[in-house]
Amino acid sequence: MEIKDIIKQKRIEHGYTMKELAQMVGVSEATVSRWESGNLATMKHTKIMLLSNALGISPAALFDSAPEPPVQALKLTAQEKSMIKKYRQLNADGKLVIDNQIDFMLYKQEQSAEKEEQSLR
């Protein structure tokens, strides 16, 4: 399967419009259309990384004609799907803030659990 076909197939599998995929990758809808038409000559490395992340595949899978092993589907709640959609709309700085916030909250939760465990001893 050619790169253009992989991009289109994965976009459709995820239920993204060209416009939604374009927003996730930081390009125009016309650029996604050109990619799906086979015009990949100007595709930048950073866009390949963002595109593969958005499509849930490795960058190598875009260039490998062998099928990628199926990924076990996660069962997400409506709230989780909404949060993921919002997260994907953030720029790199926004994603970093959210990632740091999640790490901090998990750290606090872990510390709280350790204190509770120590108090039970």
Which stretches of the chain are assigned E, i.e. beta strand?
none
**pLDDT (tens digit per residue) in 64-109:** 655 555 656 678 899 998 999 999 999 989 999 998 999 899 888 9
105 found inside a domain:
yes
Q: Are residues 56 and 89 in the same domain?
A: no
Name the pTM for this structure: 0.52
Structural domains of the chain, count = 2
Neighbours of 61 (CB within 10 A): 18
19 found inside a domain:
yes
| Burial grade of 91 (CB within 10 A; 0-12, 13-18, 19 or more) | exposed
> What CATH number is associated with residue 8?
1.10.260.40
User: Which stretch of DSSP H or E encloses residue 98?
Assistant: helix 92-119
By the 8 A CB rule, do 88 and 54 touch? yes
